[in-house]
């Protein structure tokens, strides 16, 4: 099967596994409503502000993060929700953008719901999602003026991410030599779940021309890094890892925990979009083999070798969603079992619902063939 990038055809794995299309469509819309509707107090994570802004709330930490805002923008463009996209982007640019200091040109990774910055440092996973969501908005909605000139905003942001520091004015978000994304600009280690080679393939088409060769090389480097940082038996990745792929145990983040779940999602979407021979689908096969005999009610924090901690998984619904999304890239008979489990898992309620329900909706979009590349003039 050719890639979605080549054919503009997206695999609907839910339909392949026998679920009816009207039920799939209903599930997507119902989940969207649960996340974004003000009527759904137990499940929503979106909060409108005034007539033209709004934010995604990390309900577990009561703050607004670039991760969540960029995720919300990606969800909105995939669902053709232009007004919501613009609300999220306006709140982001108004409150999170930093104009001064060594991080000028980036976005503050955490703000209070009233818009005050909690920190003056960025988290690169937000910037890369912002950039691709903006490119997709340019292609789907059309560029407007000011901050709604989506293409220019994306190009400028990516240029800053690569070139900042050349004038001793801060740090870039990628190591220019090894082409790997950093956990934060000022450190020399990475987060395997930040690696989005399928995004970089598109940045290589749409960024400023001088940056395009870098992004193509970054896609190659990230596919290799994802494979290298995953445990050779379990497939589990640490939250933080050094550039050689070995776990970085600073503050206890060298184990398989919340950030790590996204690695399976990233491999799956990269496989669907580009089907590059270097896409490490074997990592997802190992992850599913590891979790196949685990009770979802008893998911834990794990060392990457599979040894379980007493500490329970903080985001079990997110992990179920990620393991299901992995099935887009695996061929074992276990693949459907993970999708069936996801189908029978409701969105999460309660304080910790934010991260789980973001992964939930992305998985639902991908498994139904609705997490798409939006090309110019689509």
Torsion angle defined by CA atoms of residues 232, 234, 235 and 236, in that order, rounded to the nearest 10 degrees: -120
Average pLDDT over residues 235-241: 98
| Residue closest to 120 by CA, chosen among 139, 104, 138, 142 | 104
| Residues forming a β-bridge with 308 | 302
CA 78 to chain centre: 13
Q: How many alpha carbons fall within 13 Å on the CB side of residue 229? A: 31
Q: Residue 378 — very low, low, confident or very high, per pLDDT cuts 50/70/90? A: low
Question: Are residues 231 and 280 in contact, defined by beta-carbon separation less than 8 angstroms?
Answer: no
Catalytic machinery residues: 67, 259
Q: In the predicted model, is pLDDT for residue 198 greater than 80? A: yes
**307, pLDDT greater than 90:** yes
Q: Between 339 and 333, whose confidence is greater?
A: 339
List Cα–Cα distances, 104 to 70, 108, 112, 125, 172, in angstroms. 18, 10, 19, 17, 11
Model confidence at 240: pLDDT above 60 = yes
Q: Is the pLDDT of residue 356 over 60?
A: yes
- The 10s digit of each residue's pLDDT in 60-111 is 999 999 999 999 999 999 999 999 999 999 999 999 999 999 999 999 999 9
CB 329 within 8 A of CB 267: yes
Domains of the chain: 1-44+232-242+256-378 (1.50.10.10)
Q: Which pLDDT does position 175 carry in this prediction? A: 98
Given CA atoms 42, 43, 45, 51 in this order, what sign does their dihedral have?
Answer: negative
Asked whether the predicted pLDDT for residue 317 surpasses 60, the reply is yes
pLDDT at position 133, please?
A: 99
Distance between CA atoms of residues 66 and 98, nearest Å: 12
Name the helix (H) or strand (E) containing 76: helix 66-78
pLDDT of residue 377: 81
Mean local confidence (pLDDT), 215-242: 98
Cα separation, 64 vs 57, whole angstroms: 5
| Average pLDDT of every residue of the chain | 97
The pTM assigned to this predicted structure is: 0.98
Mean pLDDT throughout 228-256?
A: 97
């Amino acid at each position: 099967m050719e890639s979605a990038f080549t054919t503009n055809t997206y695999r609907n794995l839910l339909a392949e596994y026998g679920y009816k299309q009207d039920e799939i469509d209903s599930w997507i819309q119902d989940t969207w409503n649960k996340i974004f509707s003000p009527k759904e107090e137990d499940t929503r994570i979106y909060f409108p502000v005034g007539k033209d802004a709004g934010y995604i709330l990390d309900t577990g930490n009561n703050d607004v993060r670039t991760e969540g805002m960029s995720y919300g923008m990606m969800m909105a463009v995939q669902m053709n929700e232009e007004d919501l996209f613009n609300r999220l982007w306006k709140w982001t640019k108004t409150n999170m953008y930093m104009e001064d200091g060594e991080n000028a040109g980036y976005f503050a990774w955490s703000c209070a719901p009233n818009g005050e910055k909690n920190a003056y440092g960025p988290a690169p996973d937000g910037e890369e999602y912002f950039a691709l969501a903006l490119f997709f908005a340019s292609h789907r909605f059309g560029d407007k003026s000011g901050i709604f000139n989506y293409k220019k905003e994306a190009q400028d942001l990516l240029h800053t991410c690569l070139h900042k520091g050349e004038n001793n004015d801060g740090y870039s978000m990628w190591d220019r030599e090894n082409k790997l994304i950093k956990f934060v600009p000022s450190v020399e280690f990475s987060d395997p779940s930040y690696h989005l080679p399928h995004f970089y393939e598109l940045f290589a088409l749409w960024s400023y021309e001088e940056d395009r060769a870098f992004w193509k090389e970054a896609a190659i480097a990230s596919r290799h890094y994802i494979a290298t940082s995953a445990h050779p038996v379990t497939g589990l990745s640490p939250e933080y890892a050094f550039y050689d792929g070995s776990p970085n145990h600073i503050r206890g983040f060298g184990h398989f925990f919340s950030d790590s779940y996204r690695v399976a999602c990233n491999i799956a979407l990269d496989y669907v979009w580009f089907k590059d021979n270097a896409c490490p689908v074997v990592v997802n096969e190992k992850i599913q083999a590891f979790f196949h005999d685990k009770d979802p009610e008893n998911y834990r924090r794990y060392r990457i070798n599979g040894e379980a901690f007493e500490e329970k998984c903080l985001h079990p619904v997110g992990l179920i969603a990620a393991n299901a999304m992995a099935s887009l890239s695996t061929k074992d008979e276990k693949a459907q079992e993970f999708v069936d489990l996801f189908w029978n898992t409701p969105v999460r309620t309660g304080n910790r619902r934010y991260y789980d329900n973001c992964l939930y909706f992305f998985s639902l979009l991908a498994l139904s063939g609705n997490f798409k590349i939006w090309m110019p003039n689509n």
